[in-house]
Chain A
Amino acid sequence: MKKIALYFFLIGSSLWCIYPFIWMFFSSFKTNREIYQPTTLMPASYEWKAYENLFAGESLSFLQFFTNSLLLSTGQAILATMLSVGTAFVLAKFRLKGGTLILGLAILLILIPKQTLAVPMFEWMNWLGWQGSLWSLLLPGAITGLGVVFFLQLFRNFPNEWIELARIEGLSPMKTLLLLLPLVSPGLVTFFILHFVLSWQEHLLPLLLLDDESITLPLAITKLQDSSYRIPLSVTMAAATLSILPMLLAFGIFFGKMKTALREVAHS
């Protein structure tokens, strides 16, 4: 009896999470009329018109926006992972004079997120003349306080003797870090994916900083939805389905590794 209630609760909440997305996928084949009846799941007939529309760029140049998003998020995630690993390694294993201060800066970065600085950021990018280019989003997204704290937890578990040994052998800190990196590979992958997801979802700064021709996916989907009086809703649904695919792939492939890394962080 208890077991049944347990499964009922778990399966119920999973369904709550996943069913709307299944509905979204099937809705990309539906007519507007069918979409406005949320209780029907299956479309009457399957036609790939919405996807053809997107790939042919009939409503907007979807492929370009998709590539923009992919480039931006990958770049941000790579840079953020590299910078956070370097900083966290130094903070964890070397006694620097300003070490606590740097950690404080990282924590400030968590407390005051860049969204609250959006208006001055806009002015600053205008002044630099970067407005409209992806660089204006790439670099501010490359530093993250969460990353520093995350890797700090991982590196703290490493014995200090290893660092001493490396120093006696005459290895520079940079080389030591490169040698130790394979040991934190689950952590690297995990943080890379988490940061990728967060920057994939970024909406406010792209809205302010990018021109209409070079927007990212969240803006593109909003645009499709806003012009739903002339573009069928199935196109929006198709774009939404495509927008979640890279995340599903990344999580599906690296799910095991992520759990390992999170367990390590939780344990320390």
Chain B
Amino acid sequence: MTSKRWAKESISLGLLIFPFLGIWLFFWLVPLVLGIELSFQPSQIQNSGDWGVNFEDESRKTVSLEYVGFENYRRILLDSKFWKAIQNSSVYVGGSILIILPLSFLLSLCLMKIHKISRAFLVFCLIIPSLALPGVLSTLFYLFFHGRTGALNHYLVIPLGMEPINWMMDPNFIMPSMILQSVWRWTGMVTLFFLCGLEAIPKWQSEAADLEGAGNWMKIKKIWIPGIRHLAWFAGIFLVVDGFASFSGAYVLLGGSGGLLDSGLLLVTYIYQVAFPGGSGRFDFPGAAAMSLLVIPFLACLLFSALRARNYNSQR
């Protein structure tokens, strides 16, 4: 009886968990392993000088069992464009996070001070950019914000008494405008998360603080920041992953290129450029696979240490 029941229970548990594991194996682990294998294969570029001829032989389909060891990795590590892309992506992610998290915190604190109905309405307005397609955001940026008579120059730069900025053609301003776009996209969503965190804090805490005569600064430090700490970590990790994996916005904004002097070249855009002909005309799958695999440990270490730091902090 008990063994029958045990069997029934484990079948039921299996049904709950195996679909997830199966798809994980099939559509995450297999591509990862394939990628590792691919990164050790010779790429067409070095096999023969002319990749076009090789491509017509379909040599990629006839699985060549020769491996070249770490040759692809060496080639990628010596590629200055790869380092440029890593640097750009890091600036993009770092810049967006450093602006988005404090700005959202400030916005959510302000929103807590106003009436409930107008609060819901304003939050709804704020999250609209995160609902739109990133490509649409880029189109709007191109048509509405950018340009000599665009909104940024017209409403912000010229009233401040500066020369109009050529946002897309000046290499110094491509990255800031991409960060601006990311801030525009995610601030509302993060604000919504923070606001929910702040609303979940019991009212008596802040009332007690008022009775004790604690100032605003003290209240922020002792009540509001601890209240959203988990959410802030969560948002931060999401933003890092999304930022390094972001493709659509930059792809549409810069038409698949890296922009002037590659100053807007993001990592995934470069992987795409290397893997698929078009912009640069190189058809180099092993190189692209090696490149993704070089980034993964870097990203994983960064996030893992963030998680460890978080656990350490919350145990204290």
Measuring CB to CB, which residues of chain A are less than 8 angstroms from any residue of chain B? 6-7, 9-11, 13-18, 20-21, 23-24, 27, 35-39, 82-84, 86-87, 89-90, 94, 96, 102, 105, 107-124, 139-140, 142-143, 146, 148, 167, 170, 172-175, 177, 197, 200-201, 203-204, 208, 217-218, 221-222, 225-226, 233, 236, 240, 243-244, 247-248, 251-252, 255, 259, 262-267
Say how far B102's CB is from chain A's closest CB, in angstroms.
13
A86-B19, A113-B245 known; A243+B143 contact, CB < 8 A: no
Question: With A247-B131, A266-B230 known to touch, is A20 a contact of B144 (CB < 8 Å)?
Answer: yes
Q: Which residue from chain B places its CB closest to the CB of A23 in the assembled complex?
A: B144
Are B12 and A200 touching (Cβ within 8 A)? no
* Contact across chains for A204 and B193 when beta carbons are under 8 A apart: no
Contact mask for chain B residues 155-180; partner A; CB cutoff 8 A; 1 contact, 0 none:
00000000000000000000000000
Are B17 and A119 within 8 A (Cβ)? no
Contact partner, B145, options A20, A87, A217, Cβ 8 Å: A20
Residue in B5, B196, B296 with the greatest tally of chain A CB atoms within 10 Å: B196
- Contact partners of A117 in chain B: CB under 8 A: 28, 31-32, 35, 292
Report yes or no: B110 in contact with A119, Cβ–Cβ below 8 A: no
The total of chain B residues at the interface (CB under 8 A) is 93
**A15 CB → nearest B CB, Å:** 8
- Give the CA-CA distance A116 to B268 in the complex, in Å: 7
Asked if B199 lies at the interface with its beta carbon under 8 angstroms from chain A, I say yes
Inter-chain contacts of B120 with A (CB < 8 A)? 255
B15 at interface, CB cutoff 8 A: yes
- Nearest-neighbour CB distance to chain B for A91, whole angstroms, equals 8
Residue of A nearest to B237 (CB): A110
In addition to A17-B184, A203-B135, 16 A-B residue pairs with Cβ atoms within 8 Å of each other are A21-B128, A96-B17, A110-B241, A115-B247, A119-B289, A172-B8, A174-B15, A203-B133, A217-B133, A225-B139, A226-B255, A247-B132, A248-B131, A255-B120, A262-B193, A266-B193
Decide if B38 touches A123 in the complex (CB within 8 Å).
yes
Is B134 among interface residues, defined by CB-CB distance under 8 A? yes
Tally of contacts, chain A with chain B, CB under 8 A: 262
* B128-A86 in contact (CB<8A): no
Does any Cβ of A come within 8 Å of B105's Cβ? no
Q: Which residue of B lies closest to A89 (CB)?
A: B16
Residues from chain B with a CB closer than 8 A to the CB of A173 are 9, 12-13, 16
Which residues of the other chain, A, contact B140 by a CB distance below 8 angstroms? 20-21, 23-24, 240
* B139 / chain A contacts, CB cutoff of 8 Å: 221, 225, 236, 240
B residues sitting closer than 8 Å to A (CB atoms) are: 5, 8-9, 11-13, 15-17, 19-21, 23-24, 26-28, 30-32, 34-35, 38, 107, 110-111, 113-114, 120, 122, 124-136, 139-140, 143-145, 147, 149-151, 154, 184, 187-188, 192-193, 196-197, 199-200, 227-228, 230-231, 237-238, 241-242, 244-245, 247-248, 251-252, 255, 268, 271-272, 275-276, 285, 288-289, 292, 295-296, 299-300, 303-304, 307
Contact yes or no, A9 B110, CB < 8 A: yes
Contact of B200 among A96, A174, A263 (CB under 8 A): A263
Residues of chain B within 8 A (CB-CB) of A13 are 107, 126, 187
Contact across chains for B20 and A87 when beta carbons are under 8 A apart = yes
Q: Report the 10 A-B pairs with minimum CB-CB distance, sorted nearest first.
A: A203-B248, A120-B35, A262-B196, A86-B16, A247-B131, A172-B12, A266-B197, A115-B245, A14-B125, A120-B34
Pairs across A and B, CB under 8 Å, 17 listed: A7-B114, A13-B107, A16-B184, A23-B140, A38-B143, A110-B241, A110-B303, A111-B299, A118-B271, A120-B35, A139-B26, A140-B27, A218-B134, A240-B133, A243-B136, A252-B124, A263-B199
Q: Give which listed residue, B114, B247, B292, contacts A10 with CB less than 8 A.
A: B114
Tell me whether A35 and B28 are in contact (CB under 8 A).
no
Smallest CB-CB separation from B284: which chain A residue?
A: A119
Chain A residues closer than 8 Å to B35, beta-carbon distance? 117, 119-120
Closest residue to B196 on the A side, CB-wise? A262
Contact B300 A111 (CB under 8 A): yes
B188 x A201 contact (CB < 8 A): no
Most buried by B among A87, A124, A222: A222
Given A116-B296, A173-B9, A262-B193, A105 and B24 touching (CB < 8 A)? yes
Q: Is the pair A221, B124 in contact by a Cβ cutoff of 8 Å?
A: no
Whether the Cβ atoms of A87 and B144 lie closer than 8 Å is no
Residues in B whose Cβ lies below 8 Å from that of A27: 143
Alpha-carbon gap, A114 to B27, bound state (A): 9
Most buried by A among B31, B237, B248: B31
Closest Cβ of chain B: how far from A8's Cβ, in Å? 10
